[in-house]
Amino acid sequence: MGSKQHIDYNKFRERLHADSLTNEEKDLLRDEIISTYKNQEVENLMHEHWDQESGDPVAEQDLYFRNLRLQIWEKISKAEEKAGISPRRTSAKLILLRIAAVLFLPLVITSIYLSYLVFQAEPDQQVVMQEVIASPGSRVHFMLPDSSEVWLNSGSKLEFAAQMASLKSRNVKLTGQGYFHVKRNEEHPFIVETSELNIKVLGTMFDVSDYSDEPTFSTTLEHGSIALLNTKGKEITRLQPGQRAVLDKESNELTVDNVNTRYTTSWKDGRLVFKDTRLDVVVRQLERWYNCKITVAPELLSSDIRYTATIENETLGEVLSMIEISTSLKTKLNGRDVRIMK
């Protein structure tokens, strides 16, 4: 598990174009590409491929393409190219680049898109709403119209007004998990709306997680100050840097504690960091990170098994091997389905 398999790149490319690859073979190709890419190669390829497919200059599609390129980098360019690559290896890499254009581009196009809804804010004013989506297994980094930066984690969505920079209040609506670096503007406060609580901020850096299938809502502050508001706009509490607020959705109990923020915000930099983390929490995060389904033996769900690791460039198979080495657990991988057992 996690071992390198020999790949006939030319054969795989022909079968890919013929749409005859199995899902397992596509996963194998993705794993190979993830460990091979270099940022500049990806950018050059995407410019060329975009022009060929759309016929539109990249500059005319700036916001969309920037999001698209960042997502490609997030997926397939984690490690820099090692020095001393042989000519034969370089040739294989060129083939992989062309495979990636076919293999990854359709996936990413469906992962990152802007949809537009128009509604009447006032009798004489139309507000154009946009949304950016990170599909399961992907992460997205983009810039809002007010120059605030946002990172969306797997299975998340952010809705915002196209003209938000000129509105009295810069409101965005988050589903899932996002990290925000807000552009300071005291005259136009920034509001993150979620299903549980709203967050008011002038300019700061913080993480928010509110997945519908999670039992808790949480927000972690790295810099600045944020206020948590209830759905009626009343302030509940304020956080200082290094603090995390967690709301139990069932009991409605809110707790605030001091944390090492890198454990909750490292995902935006392409890393999952676990430190003495419960197995059920690890499983949910791995499912989103790798877009897979993990089934855990019932007797393990109530156990006190904890896991510590940092995951960055590893494939799913390599992560499962790490789990087996560091715990007493056994794993089985079949395509994108995983079983964890004693």
User: If you average pLDDT over every residue of the chain, what do you get?
Assistant: 76
Q: What is the pLDDT of residue 23?
A: 66
Q: What is the mean pLDDT of residues 156-176?
A: 91
Cβ density class 181-192: b for 16+ within 10 Å, e for less: bbbeeeebbbbb
Higher local confidence (pLDDT), 197 or 90: 197
- Cβ contacts of residue 50 below 8 Å, gap of 6+? 56, 58, 61, 65, 68
Query: Which of the listed CATH numbers 2.60.120.1440, 3.10.180.10, 2.60.40.10, 3.40.50.620 matches domain 114-263?
Result: 2.60.120.1440
Higher local confidence (pLDDT), 81 or 268: 268
Q: What is the pLDDT of residue 39?
A: 44
Asked if 140 and 108 count as a contact pair (C-beta separation under 8 A), the reply is no
Q: What is the mean pLDDT of residues 270-278?
A: 90
pLDDT tier at 228, thresholds 50, 70, 90:
very high
Q: What is the pLDDT of residue 80?
A: 31
Q: Where are the beta strands (DSSP E) in the chain?
A: 115-122, 125-134, 140-143, 149-152, 156-161, 170-181, 190-193, 198-201, 205-210, 216-223, 226-229, 235-239, 243-248, 254-258, 272-278, 293-296, 306-311, 330-334, 337-341
| Domains of the chain by residue range | 9-109, 114-263, 271-341
Report the percentage of the chain scoring pLDDT > 70: 64
Ranking 49-53, 108-112, 182-186 by mean pLDDT, the lowest is 108-112
CATH number of 271-341: 3.55.50.30
- Over residues 286-324, the pLDDT tens digits come to 999 988 999 999 888 778 888 999 998 788 889 999 999
Q: What is the mean pLDDT of residues 104-127?
A: 48
Q: What is the pLDDT of residue 299?
A: 86
Please give the structure tokens belonging to residue 30. Answer: 């993705």
pLDDT tier at 142, thresholds 50, 70, 90:
confident
Quick check: do 114-263 and 271-341 share a fold? no
Q: What is the mean pLDDT of residues 138-152?
A: 89
